[in-house]
Amino acid sequence: MKNLLFLLSISVLSIALISCEKDEDTKVPEEETVTEPKRIGFELVQIISMDSILVWANNEILTQEEFDSIQITSGWQKNEPREGMPDYARFLRSPDAEEDGEFTTAGHFGFQWLFNAQIVDSNAELPENGEGLITGRYIAKYHQVTFNAGRILSILISPQGEEFVLISRDVNRTTDTPVVPKTWKIEEREINESITFDLPNPTLNIRAENNQDSWQGPVIL
């Protein structure tokens, strides 16, 4: 079940089909500025099947104590709290929505949550990963991120040259040094101008198993 935990990378996350109603009047969440200390997000994952896992992000302010107090039931898991790396980030719509600005919201376990992502493949095969140092999953989501000029980005480069940008980190990580296969590379890259881009849909989310750093893409920077 460890591989089911999912964001930023999230970002990013019951046995029965989801039954919540879509809120027609829900507005697009305004773009949020991430300042130090960074905003911490909380997520629940609702397991429909191994290849259909719904990710719900908190849609109201939660404290760590409130999140810890949630008593989940069968078919649900808590994702570890995530620290976002972008300076700005927003979800344009829920995965099941037809247009930007449409979001599915619901109350679960006494709090309000927003359906922001869906894991559609929880065990994506990654090249030259015989030791299982990294894990991959494909996530359906409409996720736009911004990095300000002067930022130094962590870029994970596959043996085939595809690039993935660090989107989120485990708040409770015990090390800042991720371990990846020898033929994969981590490069620090400073950007001179602000960049905004949509992550691909679906996004390949690659996590380092030792500290749960989450790179997502592939992207062209």
Q: Which DSSP string corresponds to 206-217?
A: EEETTT--EEEE
**Averaged pLDDT, 203-215:** 97
Give mean pLDDT, residues 125-132: 97
What integer pLDDT is reported at residue 221 of this predicted model?
Answer: 87
Tens of pLDDT, residue by residue over 155-202, are 999 999 999 999 999 998 999 999 999 999 999 999 999 999 999 999
- Residue 33, pLDDT > 60, answer no
For residue 80, the model assigns a pLDDT of 83
State residue 19's pLDDT score.
33
Output phi, psi for 81, to 5 deg.
-55, 140
Band of the pLDDT at 125, cuts 50, 70, 90?
Answer: very high
Partners of 83 in the beta sheet? 40, 169
Given a cut of 80, whether residue 21 has pLDDT beyond it is no
Say what the pLDDT of residue 81 is: 83
Question: pLDDT confidence of 51, banded at 50, 70, 90?
Answer: confident
Check the CA dihedral 62-65-69-73 and report its sign.
positive
In which band, very low, low, confident or very high, does the pLDDT at 93 lie, cut at 50, 70 and 90? very high
Instruction: Please state the pTM of the whole predicted model.
Output: 0.80
Q: Which residue has the higher pLDDT, 23 or 63?
A: 63
